[in-house]
A and B are shown apart, each in its own frame.
Chain A
Amino acid sequence: MTDQPLLSVRGLTKHYGPRLGCADIGFDLDEGEVLAVVGESGSGKSTLLSCLSTELAPTAGTVRYRMRDGVTRDVFSLSEAERRVLMRTDWGFIRQDAAQGLRMGVSAGGNVGERQMAVGARHYGQIRATALDWLNKVEIEVDRVDDAPKTFSGGMRQRLQIARNLVTQPRLVLMDEPTSGLDVSVQARLLDLIRGLVSELGLAVIIVTHDLAVARLLSHRVLVMRGGRAVETGLTDQVLDDPREAYTQLLVSSVLAA
């Protein structure tokens, strides 16, 4: 083991012209740690995630990652090709809208197989066997392997997206509101699945959510954002049970108990 964190973010800032996306965000993440980024829409949490995933170039700041070879590098200093390989293998990105994270016209098996081929798998039988194994893990009937996700329900699409991302055994997974927009029963099943996989695989996760219950269920630490800035951060149960900042107190007191 090394003393270096898996991911180290410092001073991450993004301006859209004169408008602020996020400002001066910093945190470290270790293997097996789940960080929830919470805040209302417009708080900058999705901008932060887009910068972390290198889809947006930040205006300032660094995102350093300890690669599989043990060398820590700034992901923005990687070549385009290196970055692409990293995103396809060691990182996963589960998006709120599965249609953006999946190839909707390609079969479920193909969606999972594609990521395997990106890490060099070539044996068709093995790719298919692994794909079937993963469909089974995410509770998709294996007889749907040849169907395209456009014929799937919202919950199934999300589960397929999880399989597609996790098949390459990534160490860091970014999740953007993975359960929003789903029926509560579907959401519950998906959360149980994510919780199980995260602890079983020891994943490091950054999950963006506006749902404090999701943050409590899944995360160890929470980062509260407002207006692009981090207003409060700490142990999840501490921040939610003893919120210090006015904005966090407002968020926590605004939750409806069912």
Chain B
Amino acid sequence: MTPLVRLDAVSKTFILHLRGEARLEVVRDVSLAAHPGECVVLGGPSGAGKSSLLKMIFGNYRCDAGRILVRDGDALVDVAAAEPRRILALRRTTLGYVSQFLRVIPRVGALDIVTAAGREGGLAPDAARARAQELLERLNVPARLWSLPPATFSGGEQQRVNIARGFVAERPVLLLDEPTASLDAKNRAVVVELIAAKKAAGTAIIGIFHDEDVREAVADTVVDVTHFAAKAAA
């Protein structure tokens, strides 16, 4: 089976021009692959570059060296080299992403945010709304909050809106950056179920999970991100 995502010797270093050209190596020589229905968990200590790696796959951070190949239908797109409009198209059709913190357009209500994400992912208006309601309900976001912008929600509520937004559409690849970090046990269990359902539907997942129990429940493969840097240095 060919992977949906393949990283080939990916490296990144931040150069901080305003801090005396300080160089911060983020990741070095990372190679990994995620197949349909597989959940690849990125491991390694805090600061190892796990979140940065997810952002690079999503095209949010640049990649200095290596290739980030994502399958889009019959095409193979190298995110590291793709034009902005190709990356935007890839995000609509293929790449879902749940960031660590919810970042949304201000003044838009929670249900509308999730519905819009479904529309962007190709769902019809009614289907997007229905699916958005179903997910918010499943994630225990109280219905009285649905019409309100999430800016004033608690951290856990915001994160659940964020998860609903990432899961609402059927995209072949899902990137998850600590989706369960600020959730209680009940909601963590819901997220584990949602991830299992995506895997069963053939979605390739690359994620970061600090919770031991969540990781145990969802991981098929664990990739230690620091391992590559050490090997490259040796």
Given A220-B88, A250-B18, A253-B18, check contact A237 B107 (CB 8 Å).
Answer: no
In the complex the two chains form, is B16's CB within 8 Å of A242's CB? no
In chain B, residues 67-90, which have Cβ atoms closer than 8 Å to a Cβ of chain A? 84-85, 87-88
A190–B71 CA distance with the chains assembled, in angstroms: 39
In the complex the two chains form, is A235's CB within 8 Å of B88's CB? yes
A33–B83 CA distance with the chains assembled, in angstroms: 13
Nearest 6 A-B pairs (CB), nearest first? Answer: A246-B17, A235-B84, A242-B61, A221-B84, A249-B17, A242-B62
In the complex the two chains form, is B17's CB within 8 Å of A242's CB? no
Residues of B within 8 A of A192 (CB): 107
Chain B's interface size range is: 10 to 19
In the complex the two chains form, is A234's CB within 8 Å of B84's CB? yes
Residue of B nearest to A236 (CB): B84
Beyond A241-B60, A246-B18, A249-B17, 11 extra complex contacts between A and B, CB < 8 Å: A188-B106, A220-B88, A221-B85, A235-B87, A238-B59, A241-B55, A242-B14, A242-B62, A244-B15, A244-B62, A253-B18
Residue of B nearest to A189 (CB): B107
**How far apart are A80's CB and chain B's nearest CB, in angstroms?**
34
B105 within 8 A of A: yes
Residue of B nearest to A240 (CB): B60
Residue of B nearest to A244 (CB): B62
Chain B facing A: main interface SS: mixed
- Give B contacts to A, CB under 8 Å: 14-18, 55, 59-62, 84-85, 87-88, 105-107
Residues of A within 8 A of B61 (CB): 238, 241-242
- Sample 19 A-B pairs with CB under 8 A, ordered by A number: A30-B85, A195-B105, A220-B84, A220-B85, A220-B88, A221-B85, A234-B84, A235-B59, A235-B84, A235-B87, A238-B59, A238-B61, A238-B62, A241-B60, A242-B14, A242-B61, A244-B15, A244-B62, A246-B17
Residues of A within 8 A of B88 (CB): 220, 235
Mask: chain A, 231-258; 1 = CB below 8 Å from B; 0 = not:
0001101100110111001100100000
